[in-house]
């Protein structure tokens, strides 16, 4: 095992010389680790603290490196300085981690704006690109990529804190009929409205919503018991059912079906696909009724 670890460290040291900082990150636990005497030790530092943030990064480069099992690059900024992050998936003692290599590139990442004949820094552009990569273009909610990156983190935290985690999976009923009858522009308008209504019923400081695909949405409720999640789903169902859309001077209404699933102590052992499948089963049970 020591030979394997020494070989890994030698490779990492070669890369480290090209950067200003290297750190080992557990992307699910959001922890920074150090290697001492061939053992990984938690230094009680959350990885996003480096960027002066008090919450998870929406677009986590290390989660993506793990998911894609490949080296991933990202641009980040702090205090008006721009940084390039190279995230390399590694395995230490059978544990999947990420080595992050960080280098300040402020003076190298300058774009030329021909319209104004002046250079401008790309901090605003960096923010924009990092956000849109995990946002659904139509509704402005999070997208499928965000689900795959964020839900595993929420599952692990629920398990370690011994808190319930509830998932609401919702689907618009007979939505194909809307598109076929009134056109896709009307369908898009309704999807945007539904997305806005969903956000009104959650605490966006701790919970989140994503468009899973098509007319399906996923709501993640942290530290929320099953009964509470059911109540939230019912409030949303009633609100949407009462909404009247005007299309070609005609009133149009739509309903939604919901599947609610809550995990407790088993959260840390579940995958994203498993928990979505559980909520999906309950969704289609609701649809059949």
> Can you tell me whether residue 93 is helix, strand or coil?
coil
Interior angle at CA 275, CA 281 and CA 176, nearest 5? 45
Which residues are catalytically annotated? Answer: 215
Spacing of C-alpha 115 from chain mean position = 35
Residue indicated by tokens 């080992």: 24
Count, residues in the chain = 289
Q: Distance between CA 70 and CA 90 in Å, rounded?
A: 10
With contact defined as beta carbons under 8 Å apart, do 45 and 32 qualify? yes
Closest Cα to residue 64, out of 123, 152, 132, 139?
152
Q: Distance between CA 172 and CA 190 in Å, rounded?
A: 10
Q: Distance between CA 201 and CA 228 in Å, rounded?
A: 12
Q: Dump strand ranges (E) for the chain.
A: 21-26, 31-36, 39-46, 72-78, 81-92, 95-104, 110-113, 118-121, 165-172, 208-213, 216-222, 245-247, 250-252, 256-263
Residue indicated by tokens 């990156």: 149
Expressed in angstroms, the distance from the first to the final Cα of the chain is 56
């Amino acid at each position: 095992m020591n030979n394997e670890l020494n070989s890994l460290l030698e490779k990492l040291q070669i890369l480290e010389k090209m950067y200003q900082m290297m750190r080992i990150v557990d992307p699910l636990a959001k922890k920074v680790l150090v290697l001492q005497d061939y053992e990984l030790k938690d230094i009680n530092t959350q990885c996003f603290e480096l960027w002066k943030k008090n919450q998870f990064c929406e677009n986590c480069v290390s989660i993506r490196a793990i998911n894609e099992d490949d080296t991933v690059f990202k641009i980040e900024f702090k205090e008006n300085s721009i940084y390039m992050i190279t995230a390399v998936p590694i395995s230490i003692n059978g544990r999947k981690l990420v080595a992050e290599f960080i280098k300040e590139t402020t003076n190298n990442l300058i774009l030329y704006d021909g319209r104004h004949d002046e250079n401008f820094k790309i901090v605003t552009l960096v923010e924009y690109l990092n956000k849109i990569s995990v946002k659904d273009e139509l509704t402005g909610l999070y997208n499928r990529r965000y689900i795959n990156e964020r839900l595993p983190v929420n599952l692990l935290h629920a398990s370690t804190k011994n808190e319930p985690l509830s998932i609401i999976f919702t689907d618009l009923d007979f939505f194909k009929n809307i598109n076929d009858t009134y056109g896709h522009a009307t369908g898009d308008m309704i999807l945007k409205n539904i997305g806005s209504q969903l956000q009104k019923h959650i605490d966006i400081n701790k919970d989140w919503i994503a468009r899973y695909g098509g007319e399906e949405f996923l709501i993640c409720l942290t530290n929320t018991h099953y009964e509470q999640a059911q109540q939230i789903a019912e409030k949303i169902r009633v609100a949407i059912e009462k909404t009247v859309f005007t299309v070609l001077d005609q009133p149009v209404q739509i309903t939604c079906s919901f599947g609610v699933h809550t995990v407790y102590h088993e959260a840390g052992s579940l995958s994203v696909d498993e928990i979505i499948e559980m909520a999906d089963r309950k969704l289609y049970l609701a649809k059949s009724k």
